[in-house]
Amino acid sequence: MKLKKIIIVYPSFERGGIENILVNLINELVRKKILVEIITISNKLKSSQLLKPSKYLYINYTKEKKTIFLSNRINLALQAAKLLIKSINKTNHKSSIIFSMQSSMIPILISKFYKIKIVARNAEDPISSFRYSGKKIYSSAIFLLRFFIYNLSDGIITNSYGSKKSLGLFLLNKRKICAIYNPYLKKINIIKKNIKKKQILAVGRFCRQKNFEFLIKAFDIFSKKNPDYKLILLGDGEYRQRIKKLIISLNLSKKIVLKGWVKDTNKFFLESKLFMIPSLYEGLGNVVIDALNNNTPVIASKCKSGPREIIKEGMGGYLVDVNNLDQTTDRMNYCIDNYKEAIFKTRYGRLYLNRFLIKKGSELYLNFLNKVLTTKKL
């Protein structure tokens, strides 16, 4: 039977690329007259960017109920589970599918109990995520539990081929994994000649994964040779105070600017000479796509997945080993000294941006969801 309804489970809408991807996907599904029901425990959804509510879009929302006994993430997942069960009981299982965007373990178990098919999204390299985790005992338990439950799912979508490869090491049936790049770009920008300021840009959450403390140390060395340059950091998060203390300790308060989250990052990309992504690991790295789309040269850490795929293994930008200070500062200096080459690489990377267009990615998502629904077993 043809797919008629998708129940999307995403408890907490977080600021950043994931929310934009989901809004893009929902809008494309609604345009194709697929009924979309969103299960969420958040009022942060950018409803203004969604197509106007119609018979094809329903947001199933309840206010978050705080508890001192459970972590925020587990609490949100359990509240979303209650909404999901209510939705399943009103749904035709033969023409519907669950698509879990976050905290997928509970939705997978629910889907097995109620005998409705489910596809989960995995947005990071699970091996690297575990490797760089600070809480090893807790992470080990979650790591093993996740892969046990993921084997029960009907399908899994990863946002990069590197993540697919890592995930495949732990799944009994690798055919149920499908790598689909994020439906992210509305269009590929036509870049006219733009004047770059003497500034370097980085964008993301202030957390362990994004590794901004390392970037600040690299910039400290870089600024000794290039004293006129500034580092602009767009974002916020639990590491904000740590980052501020490091900036003060290195006497870089006049050279590093913390802008917080901004609505329109394009202006900063267009003005910046370099874009840095020093992450310990990534699923994909939408900000790298933004950089190329604004003709800004990229220096990225050589994660197992994500940035290296976007910049075509260094052909469309520069790759450096994770946490390698000498390589990173050398490459920053090289890019500034050889800027024509850096721009040439960026233009090469732009040739492959059509992989991330909203329409293309959404079509691939819909095709896979239909395949899972109509196939007895992948």
**How high is the mean pLDDT of the chain?**
89
Q: What is the pLDDT of residue 193?
A: 63
pLDDT band, residue 181 (cuts 50/70/90): very high
Please write the tens of the pLDDT for every residue from 141-162.
777 888 899 999 999 999 999 9
Please write the tens of the pLDDT for every residue from 283-302.
999 999 999 999 999 999 99
Gyration radius of the chain's alpha carbons = 21
pLDDT band, residue 311 (cuts 50/70/90): very high
Q: Which of 70-79, 85-94, 214-223 has the highest mean pLDDT?
A: 214-223
What count of residues does the chain have? 378
Q: What is the pLDDT of residue 350?
A: 95
The CATH homologous superfamily for domain 197-355 is Glycogen Phosphorylase B; (3.40.50.2000)
Concatenating the DSSP letter of every residue in 69-94 gives SS-HHHHHHHHHHHHHHHHHHTS-GG
Q: Give start-end residues of each CATH 3.40.50.2000 domain in the chain.
A: 5-184+357-374, 197-355
Burial class (CB in 10 A: 0-12, 13-18, 19+), 126: buried
The CATH homologous superfamily for domain 5-184+357-374 is Glycogen Phosphorylase B; (3.40.50.2000)
Q: What is the pLDDT of residue 123?
A: 87
Q: What is the pLDDT of residue 237?
A: 93
